[in-house]
Every structure is written in C-alpha cells, then in structure tokens.
Amino acid sequence: MKKNSGEKAYFTLFELNTAIKSALGDIFPESCWVAAEIAELKCNQKGHCYLELIEKEDEKTTAQIKATIWAYEYRKLGHKFEKTAGQVLKAGMRVLLFVDVTFHEVYGLSLNIKDIDPAYTMGEMARKKKEVIDRLRKEGIMEMNRSLPLPLVPQRAAVISSRTAAGYGDFFQQLDNNPYGYKFTHVLFPAIMQGQEAERSVICALDEIGKKKGLFDVVVIVRGGGSVIDLNCFDGYEISSHIARFPLPVITGIGHEKDDTVTDMVAHAKLKTPTAVAEFLISGLRSYEERVMGVFDGVRRRVERMLKDERNKFDSLTRSASYIPLRISAVHMNRLAVIRSDLESRAAGRLVREQHRTAAVEQAIKHLDPSNVLKRGYSITRHKGKVLRSSASLKKWAVIETKLSNGEITSIVQDRKEAVKSEQRQTDILLPGLE
C-alpha cells in the first residue's frame, strides 16, 4: 500500500487484484462443487469450452460468472456426461460442477471446471419435466387430446417429421405396403426434430395443420435414427400444451424404449417407433373391417335361421294340406254328382232350344234368298246395272233388264205410268230389301 502527498493510502490496480487473488486463495484453497445454470456455451477450434454460468430466482439473474473447460478436460468430461446423462452439455441445463476458483490480475474472476456430475443434471431435468406435467394437470389439459374420438377409419394422416429422416421413410413404407391393401393418404409437414429449434418448428407445423384440419383424421409425429439425447425438446411446456389442445388426435412415434416424453404423455396415443405408428393405423382399419364383417355374418346367420324356420313351417303346412282332399272327398262326392246331373240336364234342354231356334233362322234365311223370291213370281229390273226402285228415273227408249227365276229379258221403254197408291210397289221394278 502506498501513500501520496496528501497522506491518503491507496492500492494500485495490480496490487488490488493481487490482494484479491491471494484472499480467494485463502478462502478457496481447494476445489469445490458449484451448482449453476449454463446460460451460454461455446467451443473454439482448439477444443477449449467457454461457459457463462448464471443463477436465477423468479426468472431474474442473481449471479453470473465465466467458466472454462480446457480441451484435454472437455474431451473426457463431455464424453462421460453424454454417456451417463444421455445428452450433450448445452445452454439451459442445470449442472453441478467441480471447480477451481481462480482470479487473474488481467482477466478477473473465473471458474476452472475439473468435473461434472451427470446425476445432478438428470435430476434437474426430471424436476423440470415434473413441473411441466404438474402445470398441464393443473390447467386440466393433460387428457384433453386423449379424450378426442379416434375416427373409425383413420386413413388421412398429417405427418410431422424431417423429410430426410429414416423414421419417416419407415412410416410411409409400412403404411403403403400394408398386407390388406388399405389406401392411406399422408401429407408431410416438414419440421426440425432435434435440437433447440425443434420445439418451435414442431409447433409451427401443428399450426399449419390446424388451418387444414378438415382434410385430416389424425396427426402423426415421428422421428427416427436419433438417440435419447435429443428427446429433451419434447418435454417442453409449449409443445406439450399445444399438442394437448390440438383439435385432431395426435399419435407420436418419437419415444425411446425406456423413456416417455411429456409430448408422448399428452398425445392421443404413443408408440415407440414410426413403424409401430403405421401398424397402429393399419390395425385400426383392420379392426373396423372385422367388426363390419362380424355384423354382416350375424345378420346373415339370423336371416338363414328365419328362412329355415319358415321353410319348416311351410313343410308342416304342406304335409297337413295333403290329407285335406281325402277328408272332404267323401262328404262332397254326392253333392258333386247332383251338380253334375243338373248341369247335364240343363245343357241338354238348352241344346234342344238352340237347335229349334237355329232351324227357324235357317228357314227365314231361305225365304229371303233372292232365288227363292224369284221362284215365287217376283222379278228384279235393272237400268244400266242398277236396280230400279222407281219408274220416275226412266226415260222413253231406255233399255232395261229384267231378271226372272228362269232367265232374263231385255226391254225398251216406250211409255211409263206412275203407280196407283197402293200398299205394294210395282213388282216389275224392285222387291223390298233386295238389291
């Protein structure tokens, strides 16, 4: 410490920083464990890792410090953490770090990270996941999507996945090549399926599907070819609440054999793999077809049973009816004989009457025959081939022909006289009714 001319004591900056460094060395003579949240993490080309650590309370930063993992340590610690925790170190994680507290006269205070406890981070992830689940339940939306009715024939699927993901290819190949020949329609809505951008990307895809919800029966979210490291993005509140409230049933195939994400928990149905999702849809159609065929078979059996019963009734009535003629024949035999005799008698009388009538008609017809009329002394006179009915139409010197019973006479009119009023016409002109 120095004094100036005014007798005021002071430190140079170097002296101050050296004193701070010495004091920190006395307070933290050994390494210690520190819990913090990674606000920022960057690695340079040499492999050194630089972190910004913070402490928050009610979303307000209450402490902040820089930390470093040197390249030779980061290769070892990073591999250990990923293998145990199932994911890489990244911003947003709560971590428990074994550090040396260091102070450099030029660069100031920092932490030199020597070890990381993955178990602490896993516990923190589980705690955050539980907080999300508790919030969803408190809001009453945890079971909302699961309560939606699944269509009987879910053939139109909106698919959220990466276009190049192996899981997406497995899904649509399994669906399109199903052994029953069912026809499915699936439309891809591309999204990022891992990393920090995945949650927002999937939400955007859901929003696009929501605008066209009338075109689809279900929403399918599938991923494949990755590891459990990337599942953390599906535990967020935003993506989970969005799926829980979605108006169409959501089916997920993003899980791991041992882990269910919050997204899986709020979805209508969760399957472990994209192939399993395809089989789920296929089995739904198969189940519906079997139910329909079961109803059809039941109706067919009932109809066959009814037909059999009616056939038995008909056969019974037929057998009974075959004995009826034998029972009634003796009773009605005499009556039939009487009726037959009466009919024969009436027919004979009618026949005689008709014969008499026919003879009378024949006789009348004979009398009306022109040849018979001529034999009785009548004649027929014609002028120019037409039968004369009146002498008024004849002129003097007209030629007329008269037909008698035994020949014809041709005459020339020299004179004519009007007939005297009489009950009968001139017989040498025309007989009544004959032409």
* CATH number for 73: 2.40.50.140
**Is residue 434 scored above 60 in pLDDT?**
no
Residues 82 and 19 placed together within one structural domain of the fold: yes
Question: What pLDDT sits at residue 328?
Answer: 62
What confidence tens digit (pLDDT) does each residue in 202-219 have?
Answer: 999 999 999 999 999 999
**Is residue 429 scored above 50 in pLDDT?**
no
Q: How many beta carbons lie within 10 A of that of residue 222, not counting itself?
A: 27
What confidence tens digit (pLDDT) does each residue in 162-208 have?
Answer: 988 888 999 999 999 999 999 999 999 999 988 778 999 999 999 99
With cut-offs at 50, 70 and 90, classify the pLDDT of residue 127: confident
What confidence tens digit (pLDDT) does each residue in 40-51 have?
Answer: 999 999 999 999
Residues 45 and 119 placed together within one structural domain of the fold: yes
Lowest mean pLDDT, pick from 84-98, 251-265, 360-374: 360-374
Model pTM? 0.56
Query: Residue 229 to residues 84, 89, 259, 265: CA-CA distances in angstroms?
Result: 10, 10, 11, 18
Alpha helices for 28-162 (secondary structure H): 71-85, 118-138
Residues 19 and 116 placed together within one structural domain of the fold: yes
Nearest Cα neighbor of 224 from 161, 149, 307 is 161
Number of domains in the chain: 2
Bigger pLDDT: 111 vs 225? 111
Asked whether residue 339 is domain-assigned, the answer is no
Cβ neighbours of residue 204 closer than 8 Å, sequence gap 6 or more: 191
* H or E element that contains 412: strand 407-412
Nearest Cα neighbor of 240 from 229, 254, 226, 227 is 254
Residues 107 and 74 placed together within one structural domain of the fold: yes
Asked whether residue 303 is domain-assigned, the answer is no
Give the orientation angle of helix 237-244 with respect to helix 198-211, to 10 degrees: 20
Bigger pLDDT: 372 vs 211? 211
First-to-last alpha carbon distance for the chain, in angstroms, is 176
What confidence tens digit (pLDDT) does each residue in 323-352 have?
Answer: 666 666 666 777 877 887 777 788 777 887
Backbone torsion region of residue 92, taken as left when φ is above 0, otherwise alpha when ψ lies between -120 and 50, otherwise beta: left
- Percentage of residues in the chain having pLDDT higher than 70: 87
Alpha-carbon radius of gyration of the chain? 61
C-alpha–C-alpha distance, residues 227 and 194, integer Å? 10
Residues 90 and 157 placed together within one structural domain of the fold: no
Mean pLDDT of 380-389: 81
CA 63 distance to own-chain centroid:
58
Q: How many beta carbons lie within 10 A of that of residue 191, not counting itself?
A: 24
Residues 26 and 125 placed together within one structural domain of the fold: yes
Query: Residue 399 to residues 16, 48, 382, 385, 411: CA-CA distances in angstroms?
Result: 179, 157, 9, 11, 6
Mean pLDDT of 73-90: 87
Residue 165 per-residue DSSP state: -
Residues 126 and 151 placed together within one structural domain of the fold: no
**Residue 277 sits in a domain of what CATH number?**
3.40.50.2300
Query: Residue 32 to residues 98, 173, 311: CA-CA distances in angstroms?
Result: 5, 54, 96
Asked whether residue 62 is domain-assigned, the answer is yes
Residue with tokens 């006289």: 417
Residues 281 and 147 placed together within one structural domain of the fold: yes
Instruction: Tell me the residue range of the domain where 24 lies.
Output: 13-130
Residue 96 per-residue DSSP state: E
